[in-house]
A and B are shown apart, each in its own frame.
Chain A
Amino acid sequence: MSTQTALLISVLLFPGGLFALAFGLALKGADRRFAARLQGRVGPPLAQPLFDLVKLGFKRTMVPLTATNDTIFLAVPLVGLAAMLHAAAMIPIAGVTATSPALGNLLVLVYLLAIPGVVLMVAGSVSGSTYGAIGFSREMALMLAYEGPIVLVVAAVALRTGMAEGQVVTFSLAEIVRHQQVHGANLFDPVLWPAFLAFVFFYPANLGIVPFDIPEAETEVLEGPLVEYSGPALGLFKMMSAVKAVVVLGLGLALFFPVAPSGPLGLVVWAVEMLVLMLLGVTAVRVGIGRMRIDQAFAFFLKWPLLAAVASLAVVVVA
């Protein structure tokens, strides 16, 4: 089939689009259920995020009077979801799919990963509400804090793979995955351990889970940027966040541990790995820890994760 059809399928159906959305909702459902079990409660059914989305489809999107621009207010969640669907199409599933170069490389993925944060910021400020404005400023501070480490981590991995392959640097996700399938996962490469540490601190902030879910803190700023959204627009935001979970966790797996057999078994193994990452890395963390303040989070990110990422880059260049 032509490249355009292949691209359309990868963005709309698999691995982006419907597959990423369904898998993201399944991960979120498992997360809520497991969080309840960790707390000794029963918890909602596994399909609860899907019920939430269907319910949001029945409500009405109210555009507040104080919104500075109605079009931007309604278009912002669409932009976020579109970016995340594209990013999900780029995530390589080890042994099953490889990122098509027409979709972009690791640099494009980093840019796409920044879009949901910007989308939340714009949503907060276009709402015209005070709580939205607070959410906007906090999201901006948090993004400033965590964008540094992720860029450096990506650069470190790209440099390491590139130098091992004989070029200077390679930003192609397919090559990074292929290199690890041949030479062993990056997780076991001591040179990249500081980068892994930085990534471990980056993903809770990006996914908006405790201790870094400051912009969307429910009890503090009335849900921050999303305070004025309702109905299908809010549903689009929930979809964006579900697909983002798939993208970020998938990126972590692709950069550090993309080992899986090929074929359909590879898909199953990848899904199980994602589920384990979600349950242990996201749920257990968010249930067990309290939320940080924005100044604490900002200071924290400018210290250890940034140091770890810079150290990793330095070590990769030198070694």
Chain B
Amino acid sequence: MNVLTLFARNLLRGPVTDPYPFGPTVTQKRFRGRIEFDAASCEGCKLCERVCPSGAIKFSKDPNGLAFDCWHATCVFCGTCAFYCPTGSIRQTNDWSLAHVAADKYRMVEHGLIPNQTCVECGATTLDTAPMQSGVKPPLTAEDVATLRPLCPKCRAKFMKNRKAKK
């Protein structure tokens, strides 16, 4: 376009500058931002830790259960963890406002805890994870999920074998 028509257009239309930080701004819905973790729906499969390219996600054994930590200062916001998560308990929000002073560097962590529980059948200490649902045919009903949840992995396997034998 001719530079003079460009000038005229810019002068007549006014500035197109986004008002941030002096006013509100628009963020796209699918923008890949900060990670959010929901411990209640996590299966404990640790796929996210395996596929994370920068090693930002770390699971660690805590006296109270399984701790989830995602350090945002090394996360590259690729979304691979959310892509591979079978239950969608780790997901990306569209929050980009992570700028912080250097003293807060190690506090930019998304922390979660899958608590310990006692198995109602055998009494072993186990994690309160969601039951694994991928590849189960026919799919688990809500009652199956409610029955499986308070069981330890050995008892869950027994239940699933019985369920397959019944069908």
Q: Which residues 203-257 of A have a CB within 8 angstroms of B?
A: none
A43 surroundings in chain B (CB, below 8 A): 15
How many chain A residues sit at the interface, stated as a range, is 10 to 19
| Assembly CA distance A43 to B3 (angstroms) | 19
- A44 within 8 Å of B by Cβ? no
A287 surroundings in chain B (CB, below 8 A): 7
| Assembly CA distance A37 to B10 (angstroms) | 7
Closest to A43 in B: B15
- B101 within 8 Å of A by Cβ? no
Given A37-B10, A37-B11, answer yes or no on A42-B3 (Cβ-Cβ < 8 Å): no
Q: How many A-B pairs with Cβ below 8 Å?
A: 25
Q: Which residues 78-130 of B have a CB within 8 angstroms of A?
A: none
Q: Which residues 279-313 of A have a CB within 8 angstroms of B?
A: 284, 287-289
Interface residues of chain B: helix, strand, loop or mixed (majority): helix
| Assembly CA distance A39 to B17 (angstroms) | 10
B15 surroundings in chain A (CB, below 8 A): 36-37, 40-43
A288 touches B17 (CB 8 A): no
Per-residue CB proximity of A39-57 to B under 8 Å, as 1/0?
1111100000000000000
| Assembly CA distance A43 to B15 (angstroms) | 9
Interface pairs (12), CB distance under 8 Å? A37-B10, A37-B11, A38-B7, A40-B15, A41-B15, A41-B16, A42-B15, A284-B7, A287-B7, A288-B3, A288-B4, A289-B3
Additional A-B contact list (13), CB under 8 Å, known A38-B11, A39-B10: A37-B10, A37-B11, A37-B15, A38-B7, A38-B10, A40-B13, A40-B16, A40-B17, A41-B17, A42-B15, A43-B15, A288-B4, A289-B3
Nearest 5 A/B pairs, CB to CB: A288-B3, A40-B10, A42-B17, A42-B15, A40-B16
